[in-house]
Amino acid sequence: MTFSKFIPFGLFLIIGLIFSCSEKDDVQVDLNTINDDLAIIDLIVKDVTLVTAEVNWNIINSTGSDTNYSLYLNDVLLIEGLNESSYLLEDLVPDSAYMVKIIANNEFTQVESIIEFNTKETLYLSKLTFDNTFIEFIYNDDMKLELKSTPIPEIRSNFLYNSNGQITSQSNRDPYGGGQSSSSSSATHGYINDQLSSITLYARNSPSSQGGWYWKIYHYIEFSQNNTSYTRKRVKQELDHSGTVVFTQEWFYTSSVIYDQANRIISLIEIDDNTQAEKNFSFEYSNGNITRMDVNGIIVEVVYDDKKNFHTYESGFEHYIYSSYPKNQDVCGLLFLAEDVTNELKLVPLLYNHINVNNPLQYRVDGVTERTFNYEYNTSGYPVKVTTEGYGQIVLDY
């Protein structure tokens, strides 16, 4: 109770009682009864997410005086003089405990009420099991993907990062990727002043046990200073069983890129410098999800649920490898896209780190439903089981 605000009113109340009841010495004045006329009720926290929560409350106010509010979060004053009986908490920490205190103030007194809540937890996919096999995901201390592995030790992807958490390399290997021969691939990222400046993609197969030729392919991608354009040089080499290069072919491409205000790619035009042939791509987003793609004339529409995405890692460039396992077509944060769509998207380098907010429910290609997804969710809102055409039931662990 704030007596500095109460004393003038209370003093007159006491004097009035003294004069009206001067002959009744047993009359006592309870200075706290005024709080019965001001109370905070129905204090709740709703719509809790990983980083936000909404606080709502009502009051009983019989004093006839205007009331405003102060809100404390973990005993730290966030706002005072608030006239509304609701407030949106933002920039919270996932999987954390919070205490909210509301103090109602008016001309005569103040009252307070306290409530505690926890933000939702952030989970990271650790294992994806399907078709009697699995992929395991291991993260570093910054929760960046460090390793993707399979029951076959040789089939794996390794990731390295710089001190700023930016990916510097990804290496992939599949001993069964080329039929009778193995294959491997890598992506190396270069930076200038923390700005992405280059990506080099490399893929090769190895001579089969019977000998014969094999190949190597390089893509040298160089970005402009603001990433609004880039060049790509593709080099293909064929080698004989001794490793001697017997044939080399080169292609050159120039691309221009347009971004939205969230720095997401919305348009890309790639021109073949030799033939002047164009490839056109466009991307639309809603609620942090890619919802529509024009992939050089192939229209892909994606419908999402409102739950947390199980695809908690960046797709990277694993899809670039000619791999036998797994055939999941992972690109731009989406699994199981059609192969012709993936083949076009896999060399759009600025999609490698996109992670959608929610889970896809449906893929439509040129107006026709091509794939659907059904989920079972855990209490944190992440899928734990997925069913989709051609894969049976997929089990997700975090």
pLDDT tens for 366-398 read 999 999 999 999 988 999 999 999 888 999 999
Q: What is the pLDDT of residue 327?
A: 55
pTM across the whole model: 0.71
State whether CATH 2.40.160 applies to domain 127-397.
yes
pLDDT band at 205 (very low <50, low <70, confident <90, very high): confident
pLDDT band at 361 (very low <50, low <70, confident <90, very high): very high
14's enclosing H/E stretch is helix 3-20
Give the count of alpha carbons within 13 A of 179, CB side only.
Answer: 5
pLDDT in tens, 276-315: 999 999 999 999 999 999 999 999 999 999 999 999 999 9
Q: What is the pLDDT of residue 64?
A: 78
Q: Residues 6 or more apart from 269 whose CB is under 8 A from it?
A: 255, 256, 278, 279, 280, 281
pLDDT band at 211 (very low <50, low <70, confident <90, very high): low
Residue 99 reports pLDDT greater than 90:
yes
Q: What is the pLDDT of residue 26?
A: 37
pLDDT band at 322 (very low <50, low <70, confident <90, very high): very low
- The residue assigned the tokens 């992440």 is 382
Mean pLDDT value of segment 327-336:
84
Lowest mean pLDDT across 16-20, 183-187, 228-232, 261-265 = 16-20
Residue 9 reports pLDDT greater than 90:
no
Residue 104 reports pLDDT greater than 50:
yes
Q: What are phi and psi of 379, to 5 degrees?
A: -70, -15
365's enclosing H/E stretch is strand 360-365
Q: What is the pLDDT of residue 2?
A: 41
Q: What is the pLDDT of residue 212?
A: 76
Domain map (residue ranges) of the chain:
3-118, 127-397
Q: Report cis status (omega within 30 of 0) of the bond before 326.
A: yes
Q: What is the pLDDT of residue 11?
A: 36
Q: What is the pLDDT of residue 182?
A: 66
Residue 56 reports pLDDT greater than 80:
yes
Q: What is the pLDDT of residue 30?
A: 30
More reliable by pLDDT, 178 or 128: 128
More reliable by pLDDT, 132 or 374: 374
Q: What is the pLDDT of residue 371?
A: 97
pLDDT in tens, 20-53: 333 333 333 233 334 567 899 999 999 998 889 9
State whether CATH 2.60.40.1110 applies to domain 3-118.
no
Name the 3-class secondary structure at 239.
strand
pLDDT band at 237 (very low <50, low <70, confident <90, very high): very high
Give the count of alpha carbons within 13 A of 359, CB side only.
Answer: 24
Q: What is the pLDDT of residue 6?
A: 39
